[in-house]
Amino acid sequence: MNRWFVVIVAYIISLPCFANPAFAGQHEPTRQSAQLSQILLYQGFVGENIGKDICYSISADNRREFQNIIDRHNLRIRGMYTAIRCNGLTLLQFAIIAEAADTGLLLTRNLPIRLILEHDNNGHSILEWAETTGYGNSPIIRAIRERS
């Protein structure tokens, strides 16, 4: 699905009316490019819903639904972890706050430890974040400590 999305975006950008604003008045978009832009908007809408579904399944600690979303949309946990934020937090931070131990432990087992221990936007690793916010005794943090 992502490959087609990139191809569609590349095609739309290559059209003269989108590539150069000077051509905007001289070249009318074709019916085909209008259909492609609708597909592009639909793809973005679907992506937003997938992100919401993932955050919801984490907050509900529904590991089965979380895995079904991943399988249904052919997602990789590693790519998802870096791309999706729930309430401005990483998926692991959100799982810790939501006390979603099953889903958080699944993420902990499937993510590379170097990715988990990377510093977030605030410059803190997840272990530092957990200690400063009072979540240092979370089962997810204990599993991260065991892996590192």
- 117 in Cβ contact with 84 (< 8 Å): no
How far, in Å, CA of 113 to CA of 1, rounded? 28
pTM of the model: 0.67
Q: State the CB neighbour count (10 A cutoff) for residue 46.
A: 13
How far, in Å, CA of 70 to CA of 65, rounded? 9
pLDDT digits (tens, 9 = 90+) for 44-66: 444 678 889 999 999 999 999 99
Name which of 63, 55, 145, 49 is nearest 106 in CA terms: 63
pLDDT digits (tens, 9 = 90+) for 20-52: 444 444 444 444 433 433 333 334 444 678 889
- 117 in Cβ contact with 127 (< 8 Å): yes
